[in-house]
Chains A and B, each alone.
Chain A
Amino acid sequence: MSGSPPDRRWLRASASFPAPVIAEIHRAADEGVYDIRGFGAKRPLPTFDDLLLLGASMSRYPLEGYREKCETAVTIGARFARRPLELAIPITIAGMSFGALGANAKRAIGEAASAMGTSTTTGDGGMSPEEREASKLLVYQVLPSRYGLDPDHLRACDAIEVVVGQGAKPGGGGMLLGQKITERIAGMRDLPVGIDQRSACRHPDWTGPDDLEIKIHELREITDWELPIYVKVGAARVGYDVALAVKAGADAVVVDGMQGGTAATQDVFIEHAGVPTLPAVRQAVEALQELDMHRKVQLIVSGGIRHGADAAKALALGADAVSIGTASLIALGCNRADYVEDYHALGTEPGYCHHCHTGRCPVGITTQDADLEARLDPEQGARRLRNYLTTMVLELQTLARACGKSHVLNLEPEDLAAVTVEAAAMAKVPLAGTDWIPGGSRE
């Protein structure tokens, strides 16, 4: 028997046990604990890529690209709040905790969002002064962990978001591994330094929609009915959750699809729980329409939004705005081919990194390490994120104008066709080239 390598033509990979599955079983056998990581789902899923905008034709007039206006402003939270949020663009920055992100990243995000006239959001760790200072419009999250929850911050924010769940982990609590719990972060969360922090998955003082209604009432009383109150849910039983959030008195509902990013969650959770963003939007819109609340309670959609086309399709399905997490970090420099040797030290490459949980972010975004953080210049980061958001808006307007819309919110399901049967069924728009909607037509 010779020891020479085999003829590769005869090597047949298993479809059930491809190389990454084998590697994961080996890792689990070595470590005896699930894999925790950042980023969102990596598996292929039906997405907005499976929908197309039809554009104008003989019966639909397009608008002139550079001459005719295509408005982008949206108002969020006019149902009950005395001071609804006026956003210049229908793209917001999603909640990402100070702790998961460093202070420079928070500042860059705040400055870019403010320059664009949109909002940014705190996260599971409270409000940092850098963030409040940099953000003209700041949404303050009230999470199950209640880390750093402070009535002064409630009064100082521009909207409140009660987080019931997240798309990356509907039903799961937060995680922040010990390497990121520095003295400052520990102080803000009232936790010991350096521990692996598991935060709660349920709120400590309410369970169920009837309680939530009372909780929202309390938050309104504390803030004298000034501020919009959002409810954020991870996409799971979307129709019920949206209807119950409306019943509980939300001004806006945030639906985060299963592709939604995270700073640290079990891989099995990221990949195997929840509903993709595409069907979630349609289900949420239907729930609002059934209650005659569409456009009265705003729908903000997140989870895998990458460019203006995704935003256009989400709006066409009936969302009022989209929200981005991962894409905003990528704009700041996440997965950029700088400091390549540090990606290697984490066992990854630029383009594949999902190592936010380690606190060793090679580009200084999801870290609390002063040396790494110094790699992110907040000004340059803000500039990049602003450029990216500007591009997204231009893309969104280009597509909306091509569909003949003078406001991006005028996009509608009738502007869409699906390229797969699955997407047609999930979005309830016809399969391209047919008038067939699997499972029945949209009302």
Chain B
Amino acid sequence: MSGARAPVEFDLAVGDTRSLNRSLHDAAPDGGAPPRWRIRNPGGRHALCVGMDAEAALEVFGHVGYYCGGMNQAAHIVIHGNAGPGVAENMMSGSVRVKGDASQSAGASGRGGLLVIEGNASARCGISMKGIDIVVAGSVGHMSAFMAQAGHLVVCGDAGADLGDSIYEAVLFVRGSVGSLGADCIEKEMTDGHVERLGGLLAAAGVEADARSFRRYGSARRLYHFHVDRADEY
């Protein structure tokens, strides 16, 4: 048995952001078992656990500021608290789980991996997403999935105004109400294939919800080419 490594404790009341991130980046893999970290007293600090590029299990106990888990690759990060703007921005792979609520632009421009928000997410959740999967157990604010290019946004609660404005090929699943749909975003048929795909995402996120109770939204693809008669929509 490779055996789980004993977690390394890091107290941000003692060490600072720089020494935490440096230690995380420098941590060498040890005989195959990914390192584990327990990070205490984050105190809303910004840019914690950013730029991870190896497998590791990180737990942060408390609230974090901007960009926690930014550009994550391969690591699995759990935030036992709320997250500030841009949590898991531009994530490539691995996962980030927020046990509380997340502020604006959660998962912005993410290209891969799984972001789970157990509470609610504020405005622009999944803005510019490019392949990331985002599962929000609660609701999301306005302009979520703005210019969303690829990946999935799953909202178990409600979505605010202008959902999926100027969306490309990302797929949106919402269980509750939608304030309004943004430009070029339309409701689409929920096929068995989509139910199955959504079921997989919910299971991966560990969120209990009946995939059949969701509606699907995506791009009408009317803005894919400049066209004189669609000028009002640009």
Contact = CB atoms under 8 A, between A and B. Distances in A.
Nearest to B90: A149
A190 interface: yes
B214 interface: no
A24 to B, nearest CB: 16
Interface in B29-48: 46-47
A224 B23 CA distance: 11
A151 B73 contact: yes
A145 B21 contact: no
A155 B67 CA distance: 18
Contact of B108 (A191, A204, A221, A222): A204
A146 interface: yes
B147 interface: yes
B167 to A, nearest CB: 12
A146 B223 CA distance: 20
A154 B71 contact: yes
Contacts of B70: 218, 222
B180 to A, nearest CB: 20
Interface residues of A, number: 35
Given A32-B229, A223-B51, 16 more contacts: A32-B228, A149-B111, A150-B111, A151-B92, A191-B168, A195-B168, A195-B224, A195-B225, A205-B89, A206-B86, A211-B66, A218-B47, A218-B50, A221-B18, A221-B51, A222-B51
A33 B226 contact: yes
Interface stretch (B126-134, B154-162, B201-209): B126-134
A151 B226 contact: no
B150 A205 contact: no
Question: Which range contains the number of B residues in contact with the other chain?
Answer: 35 or more
A339 B105 CA distance: 48
Interface in B97-134: 104-105, 108-109, 111, 124, 127-128, 130-131
B25 interface: yes
Interface in B61-88: 65-67, 70-71, 73, 85-86
A436 interface: no
A195 to B, nearest CB: 4
Nearest to A223: B51
B71 A151 contact: yes
Contacts of A152: 53, 73
B17 interface: yes
B124 A204 contact: yes
Contact of A146 (B53, B73, B90, B227): B90
A224 B51 CA distance: 9
Contacts of A221: 17-18, 21, 47, 50-51
Closest 4 A/B residue pairs (Cβ): A222-B51, A32-B228, A205-B86, A146-B109
A117 to B, nearest CB: 29
A21 B149 CA distance: 38
Interface in A157-185: 177-178
Contacts of B168: 191-192, 195
Contact of A218 (B66, B131, B166, B225): B66
B128 A145 contact: yes
B113 to A, nearest CB: 12
22 contacts: A32-B231, A33-B228, A146-B109, A146-B128, A150-B111, A151-B53, A154-B71, A155-B51, A191-B169, A195-B168, A195-B225, A200-B128, A204-B146, A205-B85, A205-B108, A206-B86, A211-B66, A211-B85, A218-B66, A218-B70, A221-B18, A222-B50
A205 to B, nearest CB: 4
A196 interface: yes
B111 A190 contact: yes
Chain B CB within 10 Å — which of A151, A152, A177 has the most?
A151
